[in-house]
Structure 1
Amino acid sequence: MNSTTVRRLLVRGMLAGLAAGVLALLVAYFLGEPQVDSAIAYEDAQTAGAGHDHGAAGHDHGAAEEEPLVSRDLQATGGLATGILVYGVAFGGLAALAYCYALGRIGRFTPRATALLLAVAGLVAVYVVPFLKYPANPPAVGADDSVGRRTTLYLLMLVLSVLLTVGAVILGQRLAPRLGNWNATVAAGAFLVLVVGLAFAFLPSVNEMPADFPATVVWKFRIAALAVQATLWTAFGLLFGELAERVLAPERRAAVREAAAQEAAAGDAVSPG
Structure 2
Amino acid sequence: MKQIVARGALAGLLAGVVAALVSVLIVERPMRAALVIEDARPAAPGARGGDLFSRPTQVVGGMVAAVVVAVLIGIVFAVVYRWVAERVHRQSAFARSLHLAAVGFAAIVLLPMVKYPGNPPGVGDPDTVDQRTNMYLSLIAAGLVLAVLAHWAYRALAKRNWPGPMRGVVAAGGAIVLAGVALAVWPANPDPIPPDVPAALLWQWRLASLFELAALWAALGVGFGLLVDSSARRWAAGQRAAVAPT
Indicate whether the TM-score tops 0.5: yes
Secondary structure of the corresponding residue to residue 47 of structure 1: coil
Provide runs of 4+ in structure 1 moved above 6 Å.
none
Match of 2:182 in 1: 199
Q: Which protein has the larger Cα radius of gyration, Structure 1 or Structure 2?
A: 1
Query: Residues 47, 66 of structure 1: CA spacing in aligned structure 2 closer, same or farther, 3 A cutoff?
Result: closer
Alignment of 1:1-273 (within 5 A): 6-47=1-42, 65-76=48-59, 78-176=60-158, 177-206=160-189, 207-246=191-230
Distance in 2 of aligned mates of 1:41 and 1:26: 22
2:187 alignment partner AA: P
How many pairs were matched up? 231
Match of 2:237 in 1: none
Give how far 1:107 is off: 4.5
Secondary structure of the corresponding residue to residue 52 of structure 2: coil
Secondary structure of the corresponding residue to residue 41 of structure 2: helix
For structure 2, the 5+ residue unaligned runs are 235-246
Give how far 1:145 is off: 0.2
What TM-score comes out, normalization by structure 1 length?
0.79
For structure 1, the 5+ residue unaligned runs are 1-5, 51-57, 254-273
Distance in 2 of aligned mates of 1:106 and 1:151: 34
Distance in 2 of aligned mates of 1:120 and 1:20: 14
Distance in 1 of aligned mates of 2:2 and 2:133: 34
Give how far 1:178 is off: 4.6
